[in-house]
Amino acid sequence: MTFHPPKGTDDIGAPESHVWRAVLQDWESWAGRYGYPLVLTPLFEATELFERGVGGDTEVVSKQMYTFTDKGGRSVTLRPEGTAGVVRAYLDSGAKGAWKGAYSGPMFRYERPQAGRRRQFWQVGVEYLDVEGPAADAEVIELGYRYLTAVAVPGLEVVVNSLGDEVCRPAYVALLRRYLEEKRPELCDDSLSLIDLNPLRVLDCKVCAPVLTDAPAMSEHLCDPCAGHYLAVKESLRSVDIAFREDARLVRGLDYYTRTAFEYVATGLAAAQNAVGGGGRYDGLAEALGGRRMPGVGFALGIDRIVLSSSLEPISDVDVYVVSEGTTIDALRTASELRREGLRADFDTEGRSVSAQFRTLSRVGARGVVVTRGGDEVEVRIADERETLPLSKASEWLKGRL
Ligand code: AMP
């Protein structure tokens, strides 16, 4: 009997995992530069957290959650996204005032799997909580942009919109609903079912897009404070040289967004998977969870899609490969010495021929080579340079060149 990974999940090993590692290491570095420390929350939460925090009528909650009853009779759900858990954790901690957190980890959605659309997928993201100013939105958007640029996502485009708030959105939604009622005969079944439930999401429908070109735009019906906020976000983005495109149809799938909504699109990828990430402001989320009013802004980026599109150099697991022209014990001893000096070293445990060892070294992508013949001296090589040295000096020589 053979087992395979469950549908929509993947086993990821080297060399593909080298790209994953490069992309995830860059994430830590960029989140750190913007002052976002790592936050770890559970992979599963009470189902109600997502029902209330993401919205019961969203696609994610109504169709895609991995929900089960645990042995204690509680309904729990594998997290389909990161924001609800992080906001819950912050509210739970009793903290107050501006707070930043960055996460990185797997999310679970029961999707129809295809390339870039998995049932278990990896998101990185940030949440900037208890902050209201438009500079916070701009900082968050900039961080995502700089990171995606650093990991070489091709043809990156930032798309922004404003979704208004509880003051101006209801009147706009009523206007949109009237408009959609008139378009009824031309809309797809999914859109028809959304007219009453959540008409904003009809704007997101790819099938209906051609008949909705003259739909009223939220950005033209904002109340003064929302309009001012949106203007300031755009000015702030320009001040840090982030080019963006405005799209009145950008609404995002999750219910909790207010004011700023944004998406990062990799125009170099096929349309089905070119949304590499997105986010927005969610000033109403904490209240929806039963907490106090607490504004916040954040984004999530899909690592699976970033890896698919990235042309980043993979990071090898191995700095130095030890080739033994003597015994396997010589290689073990040499590798051990290099590892204790902080180098990532590997060698062949199986006593294979020297040429087989060289083949392995090129497969693992080690830049440095140490050839041992059993004596105290070894030969070190990197690119065209080579030298014979005592083993005790080898790591210093290699570190200076790696
Ligand atoms: P969302 O949480 O739906 O706003 O998604 C944010 C990003 O996560 C998307 O732009 C994708 O890059 C990624 N993503 C969402 N769902 C999936 C999935 N099922 N498989 C792979 N990546 C996904």
Count CA atoms within 13 Å of residue 173 on its CB side.
17
Confidence (pLDDT) at 257: 85
Smallest CA separation from ligand 1 atom 5, residue: 277
Confidence (pLDDT) at 382: 95
The angle that helices 169-183 and 189-197 make with each other, rounded to 10 degrees, is 150
- For the chain, what percentages of helix, strand and coil (3-state, to nearest 5) are there? 40, 25, 35
DSSP state of 218: G
Length of the chain: 402
| Pocket lining: 304 vs ligand 1, CB cutoff 6 Å | yes
In the reported structure, the alpha carbon of residue 301 is separated from the centroid of ligand 1 by a whole-number distance in angstroms of: 7
Contact criterion met (CB below 8 Å) for 352 and 364: no
In this structure, what are the phi and psi dihedrals at residue 20, rounded to the nearest 5 degrees? -55, -45
Confidence (pLDDT) at 188: 93
Contact criterion met (CB below 8 Å) for 87 and 254: no
| Pocket lining: 111 vs ligand 1, CB cutoff 6 Å | yes
- Is a pLDDT exceeding 90 seen at residue 16? no
- Is a pLDDT exceeding 90 seen at residue 14? no
Report CA torsion sign: 351, 355, 360, 362. positive
pLDDT band at 255 (very low <50, low <70, confident <90, very high): low
Confidence (pLDDT) at 273: 78
Atom of ligand 1 nearest to the CA of 300: 6
- Is a pLDDT exceeding 80 seen at residue 256? no
Report CA torsion sign: 22, 78, 103, 278. positive
DSSP state of 325: S
In the reported structure, the alpha carbon of residue 102 is separated from the centroid of ligand 1 by a whole-number distance in angstroms of: 17
- Is a pLDDT exceeding 80 seen at residue 314? no
Rounded CA-CA distance 353/272 in Å is: 48
Confidence (pLDDT) at 313: 75
Residues 93-104: pLDDT tens digits?
999 999 999 999
Candidates 44, 27, 288; CA nearest to 146 is 27
pLDDT band at 197 (very low <50, low <70, confident <90, very high): confident
Residues 260-300: pLDDT tens digits?
999 999 988 787 778 999 999 999 899 989 888 999 999 99
Interacting residues of 346 by C-beta distance below 8 A, sequence separation 6+: 317, 318, 320, 321, 322, 335, 364, 366
Contact criterion met (CB below 8 Å) for 80 and 107: yes
Compute CA 6 distance to the chain's CA centroid, rounded to the nearest angstrom: 22
| Pocket lining: 275 vs ligand 1, CB cutoff 6 Å | yes
Confidence (pLDDT) at 31: 98
Residues 320-377: pLDDT tens digits?
999 999 999 999 999 999 999 999 999 999 999 999 999 999 888 899 999 999 889 9
DSSP state of 151: T
Confidence (pLDDT) at 32: 98
Confidence (pLDDT) at 37: 97
In the reported structure, the alpha carbon of residue 374 is separated from the centroid of ligand 1 by a whole-number distance in angstroms of: 53
**Mean pLDDT (whole number) for 390-401:** 95
Percentage of the chain exceeding pLDDT 90 = 81
In the reported structure, the alpha carbon of residue 204 is separated from the centroid of ligand 1 by a whole-number distance in angstroms of: 15
Confidence (pLDDT) at 59: 86
- Is a pLDDT exceeding 80 seen at residue 253? no
Rounded CA-CA distance 322/331 in Å is: 6
- Is a pLDDT exceeding 80 seen at residue 179? yes
Contact criterion met (CB below 8 Å) for 141 and 262: yes
Contact criterion met (CB below 8 Å) for 284 and 247: no
Percentage of the chain exceeding pLDDT 70 = 99
Q: Which residue has the tokens 């050839």?
A: 371
Mean pLDDT estimate for the chain:
94
| Pocket lining: 253 vs ligand 1, CB cutoff 6 Å | yes
| Pocket lining: 164 vs ligand 1, CB cutoff 6 Å | no
pLDDT band at 254 (very low <50, low <70, confident <90, very high): low
Residues 41-87: pLDDT tens digits?
999 999 999 999 988 878 899 899 999 999 999 999 999 999 999 99
